[in-house]
Amino acid sequence: MPAHDLVVIGAGPGGYVAALRAAQLGLSVGLVEREEALGGTCLRVGCIPSKALLESSERFAEARGGLGAHGVRLDGVALDLPAMMKRKDEVVRALTRGVASLMKKNRVVVYRGTGRLDGPGRVVVEGPAPVSLQATRVLVATGSRSATLPGVTPDGDRIGTSTEALSYPEVPRRLAVIGAGAIGLELGSVWRRLGAEVTVLEALDRILPGLDAEIAAEAQKAFQKEGLRFALGARVKAAGVEGDSCVVELEGAEPLRADRVLVAVGRVPVTDGLGLASVGIAVDARGRIPVAAGFETAGKGVYAIGDVIGGAMLAHKAEEEGIACVERMATGHGHVAYDVIPNVVYTSPGVAGVGKTEEALRQSGVVYRKGVFPFLASGRARALGDTRGMVKVLADAATDRVLGVHILGPRAEDLVAEAAAAMAFGASSEDIARVCHAHPTLAEALREAALAVDGRAIHL
């Protein structure tokens, strides 16, 4: 029976990164993965392929109508969807091969099949080459799957999840998106740019729940100008296929007809079939594995990270938890700064935030000051031709410590990193304001927003 210091079940961002870090720290590591390609949902059918399509679709939209102001005239622009999908698949293939190469480089043994616990210190791998593994420690990192709605059953074709929406064989004339979170808005944006009529249905009275409300409201206005239609407060009763159309039944409203339906109502942990009971682990009502400090579960020597333990279901959160978990195993030390984990939506304009929102600060009674700087006043944004959005900095009124930064605008996903780094080290708005930022850059907008906290923005 092969034996390892650590067996990781699940090769998504949390699992494979944990395996690599554990190997770096000198542990003997086995990694169990049921899919042919490593990388999990994020790399195979999530973060990476969606970003590839977002990039390609934005290039297409620019070629059709966004380059004239730059003095670029293009005639006969046409969509080659198979080529776009081929590029997306090549991006995924290159990265999954890269992960496999890293496993070999770091001497992580990969076991193909479905892993489950079979009592303390034992993992059974069921697949093409069944094997039982002896493990001093086991790390569960099996991630999550798309959630469903009562009355809406994905058929893997006309009514599907994000997985199907990444590979539609043709541009649907009408696409109904159920859910106005990051996944729904990103994939809705892709197909809108490629020519679909997209209607986003959201049960709440706003889009992007959990993000700063002011930023979300401004984002909705921008998305509407891009052609997305929104039906807020829309409660879906059922969805099905009737002839050539999909029909979405709504409470108190006329049914919505579409050619395809994308169900994007969140994700649920993958914790079934793992043999958790064999080591004394019981999941909570939402299927999550309870963990204590250090990501330890109720099962001796069994740990869990990522989407299976709750909190934000983000690839980078899972990575941080994986690293912290194995570092604690090997060194006794490991930490995740949960207060400064960025949240990003890769739309156009982009949305990003880190730290507390205004709503959270008000609800907790924190007195804060606010600085806002619009990209309309940014020289770099003007040169790019995209002045939509703003940067907002929230700072404690007494100490000036930055409590939250929220961005709507070009390359928001990259700009938020500076804010996260500053906040991780307890920076004040004055600290950010005193740092010289290169000119002209979009990052200057963060500095200007920090200056605006004290009412002294230069270019506003």
Closest C-alpha among 96, 104, 125 to residue 37: 96
How many Å apart are CA 66 and CA 84, to the nearest integer?
19
Residue 151 forms part of a structural domain: no
Same domain flag for 179 and 245 = yes
pTM of the entire structure?
0.97
Residue 14, token pair as written in the block: 């949390």
Quote the longest CA-to-CA distance of the chain.
Answer: 68
Alpha-carbon distances, residue 196 vs 166, 171, 211, 420, 421 (angstroms): 14, 6, 27, 36, 39
Lowest mean pLDDT among 36-50, 145-159, 185-199, 370-384: 145-159
Judge whether 460 lies within some domain.
no
Residue pLDDT, tens place only, 308-352: 998 999 999 999 999 999 999 999 999 999 999 999 999 999 999
User: DSSP letters along 303-344, please?
Assistant: EE-GGGG-S---HHHHHHHHHHHHHHHHHS-----GGG--EE
154 in any annotated domain: no
Write the CB contacts of 243 (distance below 8 Å, at least 6 apart in sequence).
none
Tokens of 237: 């009763």
Q: CA distances (Å), 363 to each of 4, 316, 337, 359, 405, in order?
A: 48, 27, 22, 6, 17
| Among 4, 316, 333, 439, the one annotated catalytic | 439
Q: Domain residues for 412? A: 340-453
Supply the pLDDT for residue 241.
Answer: 95
Return all residues near 405 (Cβ < 8 A) that are at least 6 apart: 353, 354, 355, 391, 392, 393, 394, 416, 419, 420, 423, 446, 449
Task: Judge if 190 and 252 occupy the same domain.
Answer: yes
Q: What is the dihedral of CA 417, 439, 400, 358, to 10 degrees?
A: -60
> Alpha-carbon distance 187 to 191, whole Å?
6
In this structure, the answer to whether residues 43 and 128 fall within a common structural domain is yes
For the beta carbon of residue 133, count every other beta carbon within 10 angstroms: 22
The answer to the question of residue 318 being in a domain is yes
Residue 87 has what pLDDT? Answer: 99
Say how far apart CA 428 and CA 70 lie, in whole Å: 39
Element (H, E) at 237: strand 236-242
In a domain, 42, yes or no: yes
Where residue 195 sits, what CATH number does that domain have? Answer: 3.50.50.60
Q: How many domains does the chain have?
A: 3
Q: Is 439 a catalytic residue?
A: yes
| Position 153 pLDDT exceeds 90 | no
Q: What is the mean pLDDT of the chain?
A: 98
